[in-house]
Chains A and B, each alone.
Chain A
Amino acid sequence: MILNLQNISKSFSISHDAPARIVLNDMNFKMEEGDSVAILGPSGSGKTTMLNLIGTLDRPDSGKIFFRDKNIVDFKPRELDAFRNQEIGFVFQFHHLLPQCSVLENVLIPTLVLDDRDEKKQKYALAEKLLKRVGIWDHKDKLPGKLSGGECQRAAVVRAMINNPSILLADEPTGALDKENVGIIADLLMDLNKNEGLSLLVVTHSQELASRMNKTYELVQGKPVLK
């Protein structure tokens, strides 16, 4: 089991006098290695919050999150950075590529934490392989501003994959793309899941993308319900 969320609650305070708004309520969720899961739900249902908690971008009010038997809620900041860097790949609705860096440089950003030269060389080779695979190797030296939205999102997926993560967390990865690019990204993600054994957890509004995952959950009143 790659993920096991036990009794997770998360609420947000808006003001001093207003009661806290409960987003996730004593939620439990499990995910197997190599699985592909889609989370659906209306806006404000807590999809992104759930993804942020798993990605350690946010912390639950209560509960435990086990990543392969380790409770990541107890991780110290340094462990969290390493965890995010090595085990998780993130893809967002917007690509968030650095405008000042070329496509290749953007893809290699997560390798900045590496000190080993040989390892860095290997990452470069991997970047080449992945960029070729997503069809944008020819654009490797271009700045993101020169690429289309779909191409940028493909580069963002490659960036998420550069450290061989165990799981890819995608938050509306196709939300800002046209239909053609939605297909390309969906194909890419499924390819990675099937051929690389990458676990895939996707938060989406897109029924089309969700239908391609092994399992689909809907968040209802802060709890995932299998569809």
Chain B
Amino acid sequence: MNIFKLILRNLSYYKKKNLALALGVAISAAILTGALIVGDSVKYSLNRIVAQRLGNVTHVLKSGDRYFTSDLAGKMSQNLNIPVSGLLVSNGSAVADGGQKRIPNVQILGVDENFDILAGTENFYEELGADEVILSTNLANRLGVSVGEDILIRMTKASLIPLNAPFVSDDENIVSSRLKVKDLAGTEQMGMFNLKNSQTAPFNAFVSKDFLSVLMEFENKSNLLLLSGNSNTETIKDALKKVWSVEDAGIILTTSENSTEIDAGSERVFIDDAIAGVLKNIPQLKFPVFSYFVNSLNTKTASTPYSFVSTIPDKSLEDTEVIINEWLAADLKISKGDTINIEYFVVGPLRALKEDSVSLRVKLVVAPEGYFADKNLMPNLPGLSDAGSCSDWESGVPIDLKAIRDKDEEYWNKYKGTPKAFISFSLATKLWINRFGSYTAFRYSSEEISKEELARVIIENLEPEKLGFQIENVREKGEFAAGNGVDFGELFGGLSFFLLMGGILLTVLLFLLNLENRKDQLQTLSTLGIPLNRIRKMMLSEGMAIAFLGSVAGIFLAILYNELIFSALNGVWKDIVRSDMMVVHIQPETIVKGFLLTLLVSFLTIVFPLNRFLKTKLAKYKKGKEKLSGGKRWISLSIASITGFTGIALIISQFFRNEIINSTVFFAAGGLLLISGIYAFHYLISGERNKSLKNFSLEHLSWNNTFRNKMRSLSIVLLFAIGTFLVISTGSNKKDLFVNANDLSSGTGGFLYFAESTIPVLHDLNDPAVKFDFGFENNYSFVQLRKFEGDDASCLNLNKISNPGILGVNPETLQSRFKFVTKTPYLDESDPWLSLNQDLPGNAIPAIADETVIKWGLGLKVGDSLEYLNSEGESMQLLLIGGLAPSIFQGSVLISNKYFLEQFPQNSGTHTFLIEGNSIDTAEISSEINNGMRDLGWDMNLSANRLAEFNSVTNTYLSIFLVLGALGLLLGTIGLAIVLFRSILERKQEIALFRAIGFSKTKIRKHIIIEYMILLLTGIVIGFISAVIATLPSILSPNTEVSFSFIVLLLIILLLNALLWTFGLATVALKDSSIVQALRNE
């Protein structure tokens, strides 16, 4: 005989009980390992999505709103010796079924044969012909089209010039084309190509780059480079610096007509400060040029319409003087010394035109010769410089064609846009400086420097980053974002907490039940001199052997549990993953981890009750007198008092403070009261039972029985108190998705609609003229927001986001709207939105975001900063000065337009819109706006719906918690059944005695049921009261809808369930044979 043999005997003899215990362990193993597998699977799925959306791409070169030459791809490839593909990318919408199906936010990707290498395909994209398109499968599905069918693609027309730059025509900034679907690109063909860190598949339409260039009316241009290789970002930067050219920077070098000067201009008309900074410092510089298109040059009696005015090369003019050519002098009939008035437009944000004028004294009248006859002084303005006649002019400013006379046409035919007037450079800068630049050209002496040498010097001194060229290791970033995103392992670990507790409790109770059954045996072993340690080891080994089997079984259960969770995540719980591409991924190390973790949990679950059992039941050989269990009563009273008073004090403090109700404080108070209630109950039952015989009855006996086995009574109360607390607090936090959506302080800000356009809106939509153009007749208004693209940091994105999109807003338009829940001293409480305009120390930019985005999406808190690169490649810090209650802005960070345009001066137009209108007219408003904006890739939703979509994520999490919590509670009730079974087993003799002395079965059953109902109701009442207090802010909040009926139903089910167990077990215990056996034992 040896211990091992004895353990085997025990395992085999008590197999049924051991199997039950193994099942308890298996449940815990399934929950623990299941949570780990969920975590791994989501992480794996996100990483798989990174691989699917990037194919072989490792790095990208983005150029902001600039276009570089397509040759750059080849040069980069040659220099780095890696595959590089240049893309021409635009955004647009896809239309099918005669306009019935319209999908906005489609990436239009102009690709060439090199794209195949990056996508890992062979001749898939290479053979794309004109008028052909390859659609991503999800887009084809949404459009309901298949190969061979036609669709219409409508997209932003690429423009080399920023769309909101002065004098740029916006008449044709949309192009459309009917295309035949050549093929469908699935994940194998990189159909999900996306540079954003998101698990949601984008809509992609792949077309031939050459064909797209034709549509955009330019040649040999790209705006995105995809690279594939192990090179680091710095190496790629170095390569770019080596191989890029002035053409890539958008600089045009031309030799003047007289060949004495080289003109350095920009294809963007106005020369950016970064380029200007280099150009003006080249020693061979002769002079800068600033030319501007003016509305008229006039005197009191005559007027010459629409002319160019330029600057003179030297400083011979005062800011009050002007030189005019002879043609103008003749036209206006003026001469030296006369005064001339120049009227011109200044273009503000959203193309708001302001006419201004200046009066100058004519210093000189010159012949149209030499510099004064230089047609190249007119910048290259599409719509103007390429027009055959004045009547063909298309510019971004209104032109009154009737004002154009024949002589103006003649001038145009003879001199094109040769300036008619010349002012000093300093005056031109004062009058016409704008965010796009303050120069239109620089002139160099061709005798001192050749064009090639000038190009070399420019490139040598110009940093690509300064122009917004950014190289990103998208693969690394994507993998980081996927690897550090929402940890579903932890999340499901947390969500399954109560289920795990249920499993552990079940294991503990089953183990204790086993120990209880074998108490006599263990006492015998102790009496026979088997040391307590050896008994402990034996029982522990036995327990761990069972735990081992349970853990193995639990792994299979975990896989099953995971399959269920994933079918829910890809189905009913899709709201939290926003993708149907989640797959179960089982890693051997996770299984081992889960297995070992379960063994550890089992060990802890077994070792503590075992020690306690051996200590209390076997190790009686104590020094001195036995202590009674009530000795620690005062500890319970102290804990109950401290937690109770602290909880109440917290609640009172909240009512006396006039600030925002802090839900965390209430939850803490509720939690403290729960602890207080449980300890108060422990204090109560640790005291003396009622010995009064005045009202001696069965009920009296039932009440006294709760005092008899304190641990049993406490476990039942504890179980039901925590269960009730969790169920009610979870249920109370569910958000009503549409309550009070019209309130200004709600998450919609009182706006009726939230809209986004794929193609930017360049005009002020509140301008009556613009409204008229779009056909808006109803009474509604727009708040337009600028957008800097970033990743979506809302709860819809599972990836770790560090640079969410930035929205630029005029803070005044949001005054008194939305609700702030966290603030810093920089947030003015009376006018929080206006705080966005303030100047902060260290040039930080004030920013506001949803508190949930700050906390969960970014892992930050108010007062922290976000770092971005602005359009000049310089670092900018956004200081989060306040956090909003959940709002329609979730996913983005808001800054003032003042700072937005400072940092992204060339950003054109608005992409995000808030629409305020009467909620009664939603159908009419929707139809009108959708009609007017449909060509812009318009995507408009009721603000309440958008908010509901975000809230649905929270609600889904709560639902999962509720479902898993309810499962846990169910397990808990099985535990309760075990507790009941154990106590009824202990009391068989007592029941037998009742029967023997003539009590009816009904009466005894009633006695047992009353006894346990006292405990159940005590638990439920403690849990209910503390949960109501914990969730008081939610219950009182107008934005939550507490489903009391659901909660009551759940509690009734729990009570009935417990009642059923009590009834059933009492009935079993009252069976005659069982009673006879008990009596015989007595």
Contact = CB atoms under 8 A, between A and B. Distances in A.
Interface of A: 11-13, 15-17, 20, 55-59, 61, 77-78, 80-86, 88, 90, 96, 98-101, 104-105, 108-113, 159, 163
A96 B529 contact: no
A96 B524 contact: yes
B126 to A, nearest CB: 76
A100 B12 contact: yes
Contacts of A163: 529
A111 B623 contact: no
Given A58-B620, A77-B621, A113-B534, A98 B529 contact: no
A100 B13 contact: yes
B530 A81 contact: yes
B688 interface: yes
A113 B531 contact: yes
Contacts of A16: 628, 630, 688
B9 interface: yes
B278 interface: no
A85 B630 contact: no
Nearest to A160: B528
Contact of A159 (B528, B534, B621): B528
B235 interface: no
Contacts of B6: 101, 105, 109, 112
A81 B529 contact: yes
A84 B531 CA distance: 9
A105 B5 contact: yes
Interface residues of B, number: 33
B529 A100 contact: no
Given A78-B531, A112-B2, A13 B628 contact: yes
B1 A108 contact: yes
B5 A59 contact: no
Nearest to B528: A110
Contacts of B621: 56-59, 77, 80
A86 B524 contact: no
B529 A113 contact: yes
Contact of B520 (A15, A56, A57, A96): A96
Interface string B618-656: 001111111010100000000000000000000000000
A70 B450 CA distance: 115
B830 interface: no
B624 A85 contact: no
Given A59-B621, A96-B520, A84 B528 contact: yes
Interface string B460-485: 00000000000000000000000000
Contact of A61 (B520, B624, B688): B624
Contact of B534 (A13, A20, A96, A112): A112
A72 B12 CA distance: 38
B527 interface: yes
Task: Pick the 10 closest A-B CB pairs, nearest first.
Answer: A85-B529, A100-B13, A84-B529, A108-B1, A81-B531, A96-B524, A100-B9, A110-B528, A105-B1, A90-B527
Interface in B418-462: none
Given A13-B628, A111-B1, A112-B6, A57 B620 contact: yes
Interface in B590-630: 620-626, 628, 630
Interface in B1-48: 1-3, 5-6, 9-10, 12-14
A98 B525 CA distance: 9
B587 interface: no
A109 B528 contact: yes
B530 to A, nearest CB: 6
Contact of B521 (A58, A61, A77, A96): A96
Nearest to A52: B620
A90 B528 contact: yes
A105 B564 CA distance: 48
Contacts of A13: 625-626, 628
Contact of A85 (B12, B528, B622, B623): B528
A110 B1 CA distance: 10
9 contacts: A13-B626, A13-B628, A84-B529, A85-B528, A96-B523, A100-B10, A108-B1, A109-B1, A109-B528
Nearest to A159: B528
B334 interface: no
A12 B627 CA distance: 10
Contacts of B620: 57-59
A59 B620 CA distance: 8
Given A85-B528, A101-B1, 4 more contacts: A13-B626, A17-B688, A100-B12, A112-B6
Contacts of B628: 13, 15-16
A166 B620 CA distance: 23
A85 B528 CA distance: 6
A80 B622 CA distance: 12
B5 A84 contact: no
Contacts of B530: 81, 85, 109-110, 112-113
B532 interface: yes
B527 A84 contact: yes
A163 to B, nearest CB: 8
Contacts of B521: 96, 98
Nearest to B687: A16
B617 to A, nearest CB: 12
B527 A112 contact: no
Contacts of B520: 96
Contacts of B2: 112
Given A96-B520, A100-B12, A83 B529 contact: yes
A62 to B, nearest CB: 10
A108 B2 CA distance: 9
Nearest to A123: B1
B221 to A, nearest CB: 86
A100 B1 contact: no
B9 A105 contact: yes
Contacts of B528: 84-85, 90, 109-110, 159
B106 to A, nearest CB: 73
A11 B534 CA distance: 30
Contact of A77 (B13, B527, B532): B532
Contacts of B13: 99-100
B1079 to A, nearest CB: 16
A61 B625 contact: yes
A100 B625 CA distance: 36
Interface in B506-541: 520-521, 523-532, 534
Contact of A110 (B5, B529, B688): B529
Contacts of A55: 527
Nearest to B8: A100
B10 A82 contact: no
Nearest to B525: A109
A205 B10 CA distance: 35
Contacts of B14: 100
Contact of A88 (B10, B525, B529): B529
Contacts of B9: 98, 100-101, 105
A97 to B, nearest CB: 8
A86 B529 contact: yes
Contact of B532 (A81, A90, A98, A111): A81
Contacts of B10: 100
Nearest to B518: A98
A8 B2 CA distance: 38
Contacts of A90: 527-528
Nearest to A163: B529
Nearest to B11: A100
A82 B524 CA distance: 15
Contacts of A59: 620-624
Nearest to B633: A16
Q: Point out which of B526, B527, B528, B624 has the most chain A C-beta atoms below 10 A from its C-beta.
A: B528
A57 B527 contact: yes
A159 B534 CA distance: 18
B532 to A, nearest CB: 7
A82 B625 contact: no
Contacts of A77: 531-532, 621
Interface string B858-886: 00000000000000000000000000000
